[in-house]
């Protein structure tokens, strides 16, 4: 007997409840896709906000150390806070959040925090102002109170011609003793740090009165330059490999085919046409970046202004990413610093070498050498 013939095929009964299950599965799949897209787009949006904010910080002259501080602050925020604070229209919210973060954190020097606030939040008009009196300070300005060898963060709440009302939040009680000699550190990105000498007068629930005695001391991030011309050697970095092997074919084995002859004739025709139309620039050979010696026009602890010698084409700055500049002082140290080269905006014959790998030790050593030789405030433009 055929076994297959005995099999009874029973088809499942289709119930309307299955339609409901299918509908639920479809809704669940739709919601899942929507949620995943939302989370992905939100994450991408936050990352883009950070990238844009990082560009903003770089444009405001923040260095790598300050960018690292900002990234640590960014990492401690939750996703919603990241999305809110990094938007350009929320700079005041960001300023308040950053201030609260610095009050709780001991990871950075207080002066560095003050510098960062000035670079990020000071208006363009105030960016270049020097501090000559309390008139140049602004209400809301972040500063550091320095006394007993310590610096603690505060901000200006009110001011008169010779007194400031400072916030007490975050200040230690032993710094708030009336009569205590103290200094207030403030910063301007174009000219550096300033110490305003004074005294703690009195305190109350509103804040602390700081009396300014009129003495201002320069401190910190000021940059000096030498206008005396100094011999500098500039070379492409990394140096070109002089041991490159050139591969050549055995000329005795070259095949002179009809196809090769046709190609050569086409090339010759194009060259003849360009020459006839006076299009000689097509045959100019770009100058290869090579070492040269020239004189500095201005030399600072951040970069060098110079002009190219006549035998070197200024166009080589476009063909090389990094250069190494070497120079020395009479009875002083030698420096070998890598830099990026770029034209200046004011004069077409002036070019700038902006240091990229001068660490703090090198920069301070160079600053001292310039200071000892009568350096003046830096202007590299």
Q: Evaluate the CA torsion angle 365, 366, 369, 371 in order and state its sign.
A: negative
Percentage with pLDDT > 70 across the chain? 72
**Mean pLDDT throughout 138-149?**
88
Q: What is the pLDDT of residue 271?
A: 55
Q: What is the pLDDT of residue 244?
A: 47
**Mean pLDDT throughout 373-378?**
78
Query: pTM to 2 decimals?
Result: 0.51
**Mean pLDDT throughout 147-166?**
90
Q: What is the pLDDT of residue 242?
A: 47
Q: What is the pLDDT of residue 90?
A: 85
Q: What is the pLDDT of residue 155?
A: 92
**Residue given tokens 């009809």 in the structure block:** 258
**Mean pLDDT throughout 204-216?**
88
pLDDT digits (tens, 9 = 90+) for 226-253: 888 999 999 998 876 644 444 444 444 4
Distance in angstroms (rounded) separating the CA atoms of residues 368 and 363: 9
**Mean pLDDT highest for which of 38-42, 73-77, 265-269, 344-348?**
73-77
Q: What is the pLDDT of residue 285?
A: 53
CA atoms within 13 A on the CB side of 250: 2
Residue 275 pLDDT > 70: no
Local confidence band at 156 (pLDDT 50, 70, 90 cut-offs): very high
Residue 128 pLDDT > 80: no
pLDDT digits (tens, 9 = 90+) for 169-180: 888 888 888 999
Residue 263 pLDDT > 60: no
Local confidence band at 256 (pLDDT 50, 70, 90 cut-offs): very low
Q: What is the pLDDT of residue 19?
A: 66
Q: What is the pLDDT of residue 133?
A: 87
Q: What is the pLDDT of residue 53?
A: 80
**Mean pLDDT throughout 345-359?**
80
- Per the model's pLDDT, the better-predicted residue between 6 and 193 turns out to be 193
Q: What is the pLDDT of residue 24?
A: 72
pLDDT digits (tens, 9 = 90+) for 27-77: 676 676 666 655 555 554 455 677 878 888 888 888 888 888 988 888 888
**Mean pLDDT highest for which of 30-39, 101-110, 370-379?**
101-110
Residue 331 pLDDT > 60: yes
Q: What is the pLDDT of residue 243?
A: 41
**Mean pLDDT throughout 124-141?**
80
Q: What is the pLDDT of residue 264?
A: 54
**Mean pLDDT throughout 3-19?**
59
Percentage with pLDDT > 90 across the chain? 22
Local confidence band at 78 (pLDDT 50, 70, 90 cut-offs): confident
Mean pLDDT score across all residues of the chain: 78
CA angle (39 as vertex; 36, 40 as ends), nearest 5: 85
């Amino acid at each position: 007997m055929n076994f297959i013939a005995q099999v009874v095929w029973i088809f499942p009964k289709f119930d309307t409840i299955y339609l409901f299950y299918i509908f639920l599965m479809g809704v669940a799949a739709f919601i899942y896709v929507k949620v995943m897209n939302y989370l992905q787009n939100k994450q991408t949006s936050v990352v883009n906000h950070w990238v844009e904010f990082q560009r903003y910080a770089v444009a405001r002259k923040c260095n790598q150390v300050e960018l690292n501080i900002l990234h640590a602050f960014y990492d401690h925020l939750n996703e919603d806070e990241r999305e809110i604070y990094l938007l350009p229209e929320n700079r005041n919210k960001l300023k308040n959040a950053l201030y609260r973060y610095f009050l709780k954190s001991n990871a950075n020097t207080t002066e560095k925090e003050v510098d960062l606030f000035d670079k990020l939040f000071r208006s363009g008009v105030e960016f270049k102002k020097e501090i000559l009196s309390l008139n140049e300070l602004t209400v809301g300005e972040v500063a550091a109170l320095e006394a007993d060898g310590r610096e603690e963060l505060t901000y200006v709440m009110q001011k008169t011609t010779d007194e400031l009302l400072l916030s007490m939040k975050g200040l230690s009680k032993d710094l708030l003793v009336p009569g205590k000699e103290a200094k207030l550190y403030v910063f301007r990105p174009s000219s550096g740090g300033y110490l305003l000498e004074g005294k703690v007068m009195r305190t109350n629930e509103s804040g602390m009165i700081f009396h300014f005695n009129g003495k201002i001391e320069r401190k910190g991030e000021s940059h000096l330059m030498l206008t005396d011309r100094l011999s500098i050697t500039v070379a492409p970095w990394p140096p070109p490999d002089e041991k490159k092997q050139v591969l050549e074919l055995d000329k005795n084995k070259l095949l002179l085919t009809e196809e090769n002859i046709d190609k050569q004739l086409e090339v010759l025709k194009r060259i003849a046409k360009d020459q006839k139309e006076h299009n000689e620039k097509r045959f100019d050979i770009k100058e290869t970046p090579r070492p040269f010696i020239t004189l500095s026009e201005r030399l600072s602890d951040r970069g060098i202004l110079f002009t190219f010698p006549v035998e070197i084409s200024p166009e080589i700055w476009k063909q090389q990413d990094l250069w190494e500049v070497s120079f020395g002082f009479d009875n002083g140290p030698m420096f070998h610093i890598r830099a990026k080269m770029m034209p200046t905006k004011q004069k077409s014959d002036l070019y700038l070498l902006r240091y990229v790998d001068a660490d703090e030790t090198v920069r301070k050593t160079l600053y001292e050498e310039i200071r000892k030789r009568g350096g003046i405030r830096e202007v590299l433009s």
